[in-house]
Amino acid sequence: MEPSMSVQSSSDIRVVADWVRRLKLNDSEAAFQLWERYSKRMLSLGRKRLRTSRSAAFDEEDVALSAFNTFCSAVKEGKLKQSQEYDDLWPLLATITNRKANDRLKSERAAKRSSPSEPVDTKSKQLKDNSRLSKIADPEMGPEVRALVAEQCSRLLESLGDPELEQIVVMKLDGYTNDEVAVQLGRTRRTIQRMLSLIREKWQVELDQA
């Protein structure tokens, strides 16, 4: 576990304790102050934990935000021990961040072990109107490419090789905005945009090879 950057003074502890008490009351400013205080260390820890990951679908920001959201929920639900409310929060936040990073890595390894012939999500299979895929195609693509996207729905979905990427496709076709997809999947808007770019890149390769 990454150590604290410095020993907290009694005044620092009082300030943090006050933010935690206010966070219990759903004070968004208190949440912001806590994030500002600990986010750099959480991001740094997440980056180190994910250094073995080759996935472009998530990064340290996703891990840190997910960990911080879990912490905030625990505070609001009264799940923190009294000592955790008044002492340095970093050991607790570091533990949550480590767990979130480990969960991401486990999911990535599980996806790699999955058979390529494994059926895609049931909802993905039910996409009978292939023309709906044109919603996710890059508007700058030519009409021929957009037509191929519509005609090869199932093959393109399977080519993604990642259930979460497939889920994003389905949600976009169902009319979800990037912000709504981010909320549903617990990701940042920037990550969803990056994942959509990854989807387009994968599809372009498939279409170039067709």
- Mutual orientation of helices 189-209 and 60-76 as an angle, nearest 10°? 140
Q: Are residues 66 and 138 in the same domain?
A: no
Q: Which of 113, 148, 168 is the last residue of a domain?
A: 113
pTM of the model: 0.55
* 175-203 burial: b if 16+ Cβ within 10 Å, else e: ebebeebbeebebbeebbebbbebbbebb
Q: Are residues 26 and 104 in the same domain?
A: yes
Which residue range(s) make up the domain with 50? 10-113
- Structural Rg of the chain based on CA atoms: 21
Q: Choose from 6-15, 58-67, 133-142 the range with maximum mean pLDDT.
A: 58-67
Q: Are residues 29 and 87 in the same domain?
A: yes
Q: Are residues 80 and 56 in the same domain?
A: yes
pLDDT tier at 82, thresholds 50, 70, 90: low
**Within-domain flag for 73:** yes
Domains of the chain: total: 2
Q: Which of 113, 136, 156 is the last residue of a domain?
A: 113
